[in-house]
Structure 1
Amino acid sequence: MSEDRTHLEEQIAHLSRTVDDLSGVIARQEKDLSKLTKQVDMLMRREAEREYDSGGSVPLADQKPPHW
């Protein structure tokens, strides 16, 4: 009975450490995701301004290729 308890305590300790490690990973990923989202938003605004400043024509990505 004592061995079972010891084994269970070891498993709980291991799982607690794993949860703490994963929590740190998730926090870091959330920070990275927030940073990347801000960068994408900035790039989208910059591209929209560039397209607007170029005369408001159809965005290059929406134009048909010259062979059409």
Structure 2
Amino acid sequence: MKMTQDLEQRVVELETRVAFQDQTLTELSDALAALRKEAAQSRELLRRSLDELKQARGAFYADPAEEPPPPHY
């Protein structure tokens, strides 16, 4: 009888640990998914920012061939 109670107690403890680990894995999986989404958004924002910077540079540094000649010519 004592042995049965001990075994039952151990099984309950193991089930509790497994349930806790399942919950922890779910939380970690959710956190990883959120981080991946955030990283994708950051990547897209960086890409758009770099594109805008390239366009701004292009407008600021005009092609010398398109510039009119200086007035002394």
TM-score interval, normalised by the smaller of the two chains = 0.7 to 0.9
2:21 alignment partner in structure 1 = 15
1:50 alignment partner in structure 2 = 56
C-alpha distance after superposition, 1:36-56 (max 9, x if no partner): 110000001111111111115
Contiguous gaps of at least 5 residues in structure 2: 1-6, 64-73
Distance 1:7 1:56 in 2: 73
Give TM-score scaled by structure 1 length: 0.76
Identity level (%): 14
Cα displacement (A) at 1:35: 0.6
The RMSD of aligned alpha carbons is 1.5
Task: Please say which structure displays the higher CA radius of gyration.
Answer: 2
Give TM-score scaled by structure 2 length: 0.72
1:26 alignment partner in structure 2 = 32
2:9 alignment partner in structure 1 = 3
Q: Which has the higher contact order (CA 8 A, sep 6+)?
A: 1
In terms of fraction of residues, the more helix-rich structure is 2
Contiguous gaps of at least 5 residues in structure 1: 58-68
List, as ranges, runs of 4+ consecutive aligned residues in structure 1 with deviation greater than 6 Å.
none
